[in-house]
Amino acid sequence: MNILITGGSGFIGSHLSEKLLNEGNNKLFLIDNLLTGSTKNIEHLLDSEKVLFIEHDVQDHIEIEEKIDYVFHFASAASPVAYTEHPVNTLKAGSVGTINTLGLAKKHGAEYFLASTSEVYGDPLVTPQTEEYWGNVNPNGERSMYDEAKRFAEAATATYARTYDIKTKIVRIFNTYGPRMQLNDGRVVTNLIVQALNNEDITIYGDGSQTRSFSYVEDTVAGILALMKSDKYDVFNIGNPNEMSIKELSSVILKLTDSKSNLVYKDLPNDDPKQRRPDITKAKENLNWEPKVDLETGLTFTIEWIKKELAK
């Protein structure tokens, strides 16, 4: 298959690309504007004649001459710090970028796969979040350039599927961590590991009682591939239901890094969700997928990778 992946040199996009290249006879067209992605993430793939990297922003029209069979739209800044730094680009990646990539899928008769997010549930009032939950999102708040763009992206995908008979799938990705995360994009896992390794203060926003559920990138990508290969043209949560508070996460990281860092408490960012936990029953039953890597194992791999990055 000829597979186009926007955000192909990003954190999740690069892991997905690697798996797709290693299986079967796929040719990959990786599109990225390198705003938050990096060719470093895919340099080991670029020697292959089956990989074509195109530096391009999805907010601009995309023209590919070769026939494309499958489109993954994964391009977007995705951490609160990154989308706050690039607010308009984030808004456009989810809106115009989704329309552009849907248009490309329509023209090529390709299947379409949208990377959505647990952020479509906003600051959820029900827990765990099932795919049926419509969410609790501040439409003009400080996270809205990401949350609402992704909600629009889902609406656009559903509308194109209904209107033009395109086959589409949507994955709502919950907090994912692992090698190739950007170390400076402010996410809690990287921030805390870097601080712990440097014996610097560990920054806890708010009182640290807010919860997240962390999925190791290999598990997340396995879920994405299970959905790709299934005959389900539908919306699925992919994540690890192992919910914990940020304070609990900090103790695990302190233990695994054997760090002497102290906790310091900072203001909680506006609209920071108080809880987040995926209900993955639908994915388990329909895709025969579930996460396999427990938190300590995944964090240990991540810590080893970060140590190497810091030593560079």
Residue 56 CB: number of other CB atoms within 10 A?
Answer: 17
Is 175 among the residues that bind ligand UDP (CB under 6 A)? yes
Active site residues: 146
Tell me which of 87, 103, 141, 186 binds ligand UDP, using CB under 6 A: 186
Contacting range for ligand UDP; rule: CB under 6 A; set: 35-43, 86-94, 122-130, 182-190: 182-190
Contacting range for ligand UDP; rule: CB under 6 A; set: 129-137, 221-229, 266-274, 288-296: 266-274
Tell me which of 188, 193, 224, 295 binds ligand UDP, using CB under 6 A: 188
Alpha carbon distance, N-terminus to C-terminus of the chain: 37
Tell me which of 76, 210, 220, 261 binds ligand UDP, using CB under 6 A: 210
Here's the x/- map for ligand UDP, 124-163, by CB under 6 A: it reads as ----------------------------------------
Q: Smallest gap, in angstroms, from Cβ of residue 162 to ligand UDP?
A: 30
Is 187 among the residues that bind ligand UDP (CB under 6 A)? yes
Task: Give the footprint of ligand UDP on residues 58-117 (CB under 6 A).
Answer: 79-80
Residues that bind ligand UDP (CB under 6 A): 79-80, 175, 186-188, 191, 203-205, 210, 212, 246, 268-269, 272
